[in-house]
Amino acid sequence: MSYNFLNIAATPDVRAVQAEMGTAGMWPEPGKVVEPSALGPHEKDFISERDSFYMATVSETGWPYVQHRGGPMGFLHVLDDQTLAFADFRGNLQYITAGNLRGSDRACLFLMDYTRRRRLKIYATVSLAGADESLALKEKWAAENYRAVTERIYLLNVVAFDWNCPQHIVPRYTFEQLKAHIEPVMQRLEELEAENAALRQRLQE
């Protein structure tokens, strides 16, 4: 548990509910740790292995908004202990996240590893990369060879993070993960079908 995460998440209303439910004593006093959280090797590896994440922003009318982001594994790049970056691909042309970030630079990221049943929440402030940095990052990432139009590069300054428990996460596997297990079975099936056809043929002779 990152104490810093609760400094943000545990608002007075949240603390009031904790008090009502008798759990307030479980958590650190508010305001204890104010240092921004640095990502460690565990977080960096986890982030680099993701091919999707969810990103929540806040509208100027106070509504939360969450959107799924997907791309090649590692498309949410770890630039350093405190900074993440990703290319904002052209999508449905609604620009809700982009618009929300004009009013408030605050975002909450939710990263899921369904296979290993792990999840990470990240609070970040978001800024647009400047033209030079944007160009440099686009060139650096061009080798990924992913078919999408990049409209902007977002830089995410990590303010806090928190790991969640695996409870209620149903394991899911990507096609690529399953392929390694399915292919030998398919191959064996083909061999058996060929053998079966040959045996049938011999019976008819």
Ligand X SMILES: Cc1cc2nc3c(=O)[nH]c(=O)nc-3n(C[C@H](O)[C@H](O)[C@H](O)COP(=O)(O)O)c2cc1C
Would you say 51 or 82 has its CB closer to ligand X?
A: 51
CB of 111 to ligand X, least distance (A): 16
Query: What is each CA distance from 96 to 17, 34, 190, in whole angstroms?
Result: 31, 30, 49
Q: Nearest CA to 154 among 103, 201, 85?
A: 85
**Least gap, CB of 61 to ligand X (angstroms):** 15
Q: What's the closest the beta carbon of residue 98 comes to ligand X, in angstroms?
A: 6
Q: Which is nearer to ligand X, 138 or 188 (CB)?
A: 138
Q: Is-contact 85 156, C-beta < 8 A?
A: yes
Structure letter (DSSP) for residue 153:
E
Q: Which is nearer to ligand X, 92 or 167 (by Cβ)?
A: 92
Q: Between 94 and 167, whose beta carbon lies closer to ligand X?
A: 94
Burial class (CB in 10 A: 0-12, 13-18, 19+), 110: middle
Q: Which is nearer to ligand X, 42 or 90 (CB)?
A: 90
Cα→Cα distances 54→28, 37, 107, 118, 178, Å: 27, 20, 10, 14, 24
Question: What is the nearest approach in angstroms of ligand X to the Cβ of residue 96?
Answer: 4
Nearest residue to ligand X by CB is 91
In the block, residue with structure tokens 């958590």: 27
Residues that bind ligand X (CB under 6 A): 67, 91-92, 94-97
For the sheet containing 106-113, what is the strand order? 64-70, 52-58, 106-113, 118-128, 150-164, 83-89, 77-78
Q: How far is the CB of 88 from ligand X (least distance, A)?
A: 6
